[in-house]
Amino acid sequence: MSEADLLNVLPCDSVATKRRNSARPVMLVGFQHQGNLGLGYLASTLRQAGYSVMTCDFEASRAEIVRTALEGGPMIIGFSLIFQFYVKQFRSLIRELRDAGVDCHFTMGGHFPSLSYRETLELIPELNSVVRFEGEMTLLELADVIGAGHDWRGIHGIAYCEGDEVVTTPMRALVDDLDRLPYPERNFEPEAALGRKALPIVASRGCARTCSFCSIQTFYRTAPGKIVRTRKPAKVVDEMRMLHEERGITIFLFQDDDFPLFGPVWRRWAYEFVDEMHASGLSRRVIWKMNCRADAVEPEIFAAMREAGLYLVYMGLESGNEEGLKVLHKQITVVQNLRAVEILKSIGLLFEFGFMLFDPSSSLESVRTNLNFLRAVVGDGCAAAVFCRMLPYDGTPIKDELQRTGRLRGDVVHPDYDFLYPEVTELYHSLSNTVDVWGWVHGYQGLSPRLNWAWNEVAILARLFPALAGFAEYREVLAAITRESNEVLFDVIEKLLVLAESGGQPTWTNELLNARQERFLERLLQARNGFVERHRQTLLKALHPERIMDAAVA
């Protein structure tokens, strides 16, 4: 047995019988929007071992979090930092807790603390420790040791400060068998679309790929143990069945970094999952969304998954030019990206995608190629155009490379870098100044996310509700609004490119675009609300508890 295996041998069922001091609860604080599965797994593991757990949403009011801590008297507060740009907000919350007299052990986990533990401990000196990598077993051991009044500094998988020194203990291996973990706790209200409730779930952890901009690959490669671990399809389906029967969940959002699909082994996994979905009867009652790479998209398996309830696919397309794909180390070609899009369209599956219009290799020419790629992908209005600039997160090879070449800028909250060419910097700034990026492309209330939400609803309507009169017409109106909105964005980029290449006067202004955006939004709301209102009674009837079980897939 390897060291990694040994460290991993902490089966949850046998630790449940160990004697421990669980008089004081463990408190967990994290970003709960759409449900935080990391906190969910930590909470269920602790609870299975006999601890009581209090979970707080990081977005709750400060006063509420402080009050919960003061009243609950936890022995540990564990903070989950999954987005590095929240690090300073966590710091200020932690200071407030300490100022209020909360003096228990403070620890923190997540990608950034795991990979940049020094910086985390430096930025937040109020932390007693950082738990590195997957935290279930380490947090449990921390609770056991602290509860027993012993010194916690010897436990594996943590970092802490000793005077001016940062000490790390031997790394703990990744959880070898995910099926030995209890199902994650989900003590939050599920999101709902048209009254249908959605919850996140994972079928696997880890990713075998090595994209240069992604902290996931470093996170799962730095810790010892197997990088990609899949759960048994039957266990995944059992968890879905339980959530469907007990909480009426009909939409499942798979948050796997890369849904098991690629290559013969994982393809077999996916087919087995499909079989389990049919055997359980769930394929007719629930629908699911997953994330994958474009090179995993093949007609046969996607058609099979669609029949088993797959309704929406998220793909990280990331770039539409070969140089960009190379710098991002996507190990994929533009043709493969386009082929995936074509396949999904041809089998009638809706998709969303991630796309970086700008990356560290950008030139005016590559931005133009990216623009043409976007036109090819969503020029028909099948989904809203989204794009961003690549950001160099901690723990990513691209950040190290930018640092090595002296191009890294910004800080942990706003990581940034210099483009290679001043004209690209100028283009990027004029685009950001012209388009209200949060209002249109990114923010939860932005136009593109709202259009995509409407598309999400369309897929749900098609799969979880009876056929509705005028549905095809509504779909066409939505496609027209999306197409026109996308085209305005494309035109802005195009005109700014021309301006950067040959000078002249800007055509689009921020005011003009805001007015267009408002108009698109009005049209969208009118079409969507009108359609939903017309079918209000039918939709409500279909949501009636007994009918959830009967919802037939169209």
> Interface with ligand B12 by CB under 6 A: which residues?
31-38, 41-42, 78-80, 82-84, 107-112, 131, 134-136, 139, 202, 214-216, 255, 257, 393
C-beta of residue 31 within 8 angstroms of C-beta of residue 4: no
314 versus 453: smaller Cβ distance to ligand SF4: 314
213 versus 508: smaller Cβ distance to ligand B12: 213
Least separation in angstroms between residue 174's CB and ligand SF4 is: 15
Least separation in angstroms between residue 128's CB and ligand B12 is: 12
CA distance 242 to 366: 48
127 versus 296: smaller Cβ distance to ligand SF4: 296
CA distance 142 to 154: 10
The interface partner of residue 32, options being ligand B12, ligand SF4, none and the CB cut-off 5 to 8 Å by kind, is ligand B12
SS (HEC) of 293-307: CHHHCCHHHHHHHHH
Helix (H) or strand (E) holding 388: strand 388-389
CA distance 288 to 272: 16
Is residue 293 a contact point for ligand SF4 (CB under 6 A)?
yes
The interface partner of residue 266, options being ligand B12, ligand SF4, none and the CB cut-off 5 to 8 Å by kind, is none
Q: Count, in order, helices (H) and strands (E) of the chain.
A: 23, 18
The interface partner of residue 283, options being ligand SF4, ligand B12, none and the CB cut-off 5 to 8 Å by kind, is none
Least separation in angstroms between residue 280's CB and ligand SF4 is: 28
135 versus 233: smaller Cβ distance to ligand B12: 135
**In whole angstroms, how far apart are CA 98 and each of 102, 106, 110, 160?**
5, 10, 21, 18
The interface partner of residue 135, options being ligand SF4, ligand B12, none and the CB cut-off 5 to 8 Å by kind, is ligand B12
- Sequence-ordered list of residues with C-beta below 8 angstroms from that of 106, at least 6 positions apart, any chain: 76, 77, 79, 94, 97, 98, 126, 127, 128, 129
Least separation in angstroms between residue 154's CB and ligand B12 is: 17
The interface partner of residue 90, options being ligand B12, ligand SF4, none and the CB cut-off 5 to 8 Å by kind, is none
CA distance 271 to 265: 10
CA distance 288 to 158: 36
Residue type, 420: L
Is residue 258 a contact point for ligand SF4 (CB under 6 A)?
yes
Q: In sequence order, which ranges of 328-414 are alpha helices (DSSP H)? A: 334-346, 364-378, 397-404
CA distance 431 to 414: 18
Which string of DSSP letters, residue by residue, matches 102-133? Answer: --SEEEEESHHHHHSHHHHHHH-TT-SEEE-S
Residues 69, 121, 174, 216: which binds ligand SF4 (CB under 6 A)? 216
C-beta of residue 454 within 8 angstroms of C-beta of residue 541: no
Least separation in angstroms between residue 34's CB and ligand B12 is: 4
The interface partner of residue 258, options being ligand SF4, ligand B12, none and the CB cut-off 5 to 8 Å by kind, is ligand SF4
Please give the DSSP secondary-structure letter assigned to residue 323. Answer: H
Residues 211, 294, 340, 492: which binds ligand SF4 (CB under 6 A)? 211
Is residue 257 a contact point for ligand SF4 (CB under 6 A)?
yes
The interface partner of residue 84, options being ligand SF4, ligand B12, none and the CB cut-off 5 to 8 Å by kind, is ligand B12
Stretch that binds ligand SF4, among 185-193, 204-212, 231-239, 491-499 (CB under 6 A): 204-212
Q: How many CA atoms lie within 13 A of 365 on its CB side?
A: 4
Question: Is the backbone of residue 275 left (phi > 0), alpha (psi -120 to 50) or beta?
Answer: alpha
Is residue 316 a contact point for ligand SF4 (CB under 6 A)?
yes
212 versus 215: smaller Cβ distance to ligand B12: 215
Least separation in angstroms between residue 258's CB and ligand SF4 is: 5
- Sequence-ordered list of residues with C-beta below 8 angstroms from that of 178, at least 6 positions apart, any chain: 202, 204, 205, 229, 230, 231
The interface partner of residue 31, options being ligand SF4, ligand B12, none and the CB cut-off 5 to 8 Å by kind, is ligand B12
78 versus 320: smaller Cβ distance to ligand B12: 78
Residue type, 376: A
Stretch that binds ligand SF4, among 209-217, 232-240, 305-313, 512-520 (CB under 6 A): 209-217
134 versus 239: smaller Cβ distance to ligand B12: 134
CA distance 174 to 81: 18
84 versus 486: smaller Cβ distance to ligand SF4: 84
278 versus 329: smaller Cβ distance to ligand SF4: 329
The interface partner of residue 457, options being ligand SF4, ligand B12, none and the CB cut-off 5 to 8 Å by kind, is none
Roughly what angle, to the nearest 10 degrees, separates helices 471-502 and 447-464?
Answer: 150
Please give the DSSP secondary-structure letter assigned to residue 209. Answer: -
C-beta of residue 290 within 8 angstroms of C-beta of residue 256: yes
Residue type, 306: R
**Nearest-CB residue to ligand B12?**
109
Is residue 317 a contact point for ligand SF4 (CB under 6 A)?
no
Q: How many CA atoms lie within 13 A of 43 on its CB side?
A: 22
SS3 content of the chain, % helix, strand, coil (to 5): 50, 15, 35
The interface partner of residue 111, options being ligand SF4, ligand B12, none and the CB cut-off 5 to 8 Å by kind, is ligand B12
Least separation in angstroms between residue 204's CB and ligand SF4 is: 11
72 versus 320: smaller Cβ distance to ligand SF4: 320
Contacts with ligand SF4 by CB under 6 A: the residue count is: 11
CA distance 475 to 481: 10
Least separation in angstroms between residue 205's CB and ligand SF4 is: 11
- Cβ atoms within 10 A of the Cβ of 280, count? 17
120 versus 283: smaller Cβ distance to ligand B12: 120
Residues 186, 209, 285, 289: which binds ligand SF4 (CB under 6 A)? 209
Q: Within 217-246, which residues bind ligand SF4 (CB under 6 A)?
A: 217
Residues near ligand SF4 (CB under 6 A) are 207, 209-211, 214, 216-217, 257-258, 293, 316
